[in-house]
Copies of this chain bind each other. A is one copy, B any other.
Amino acid sequence: MKNETISEEAAIDLKTLLDHWQEHRRLTRRVIEAYPEDKLFTFSVGGMRPFSQLVMEMITIAQLGAYGIATGNWTVPNRPEINFTMQPPATKAELLKFWDDTTEVINTMWPHMTVDRMSQIDKAFGSYDGTITWHYFYFVDNEIHHRAQAYVYLRALGIEPPPFWDRH
C-alpha cells in the first residue's frame, strides 16, 4: 500500500464501453415494456415529463451521439427529423421499434470509434465542448438518470420496476 500516484495506463476498452451502454439500454427497454400503454404517454410526478418524452430524449442523444462520437458529424444522415424537438410516436410498439432501430445504429457506428478519438475534444450536438470520453459517459448517465425517474413513476403507479442490477 505504498503507491500514491494513479496509473495513466488505459484500463477499459471500446468493446466494454459498447457492452456497458447496450446493457443499460436493455434494462431501459424492459422499463418501457413494464409501462401500461396509456401511462407511458401521460403519467408523471412533480410536473416532470412523462416517460415517453424522456425516452425520446434518450433516442435522440443515442442516434445523434452515435454518429457524433464516431464521425464528428452530430446529425443522422438523411434523418433530419431526429432532433431534440422530436415528439414520441403514438404507441408503445412504435416507441420500442424506434428503440430497437437505435440499438442497431449504435452497433453499426461503434466499429468506427478509435481509441485516439476518445481523448479528442468535440462540440457534442453542436453545443457542448468536452472529450469524446466525457460525452460517451454523458449519453449513458443521462439514460440512467431519466430511467431512474421512471422507476419512481412506476412505484407511484403501484408497479414493480425491473431490477436495476439485471442488465442481461
A residues with a Cβ closer than 8 A to B are 1, 3-18, 20, 24, 45-48, 71, 110-115, 118, 128, 133, 137-138, 141-142, 144-149, 151-158, 164-165
Which of A48, A111, A138 is most buried by chain B, counting CB atoms within 10 A of its CB?
A111
Q: Is the interface of A mostly helix, strand, loop or mixed?
A: helix
**CB-defined contacts of A153 to chain B, threshold 8 Å:** 152
Number of copies: 2
**17 residue pairs A–B, Cβ–Cβ below 8 Å:** A1-B71, A6-B14, A6-B18, A7-B115, A8-B14, A9-B10, A11-B12, A11-B17, A11-B115, A12-B17, A16-B133, A45-B155, A47-B155, A145-B151, A147-B148, A149-B149, A149-B152
**CB-defined contacts of A152 to chain B, threshold 8 Å:** 45-46, 48, 149, 152-153
* Shortest Cβ distance from A119 into B: residue: B11
- On whether the beta carbons of B155 and A48 are closer than 8 Å, the reply is yes
Leading 3 A-B pairs by shortest Cβ distance: A46-B155, A10-B10, A148-B148
Set B46, B133, B141, B148: member contacting A11, Cβ < 8 A: B133
Asked if A164 meets B149 with Cβ closer than 8 Å, knowing A7-B14, A11-B14, A133-B12, the reply is no
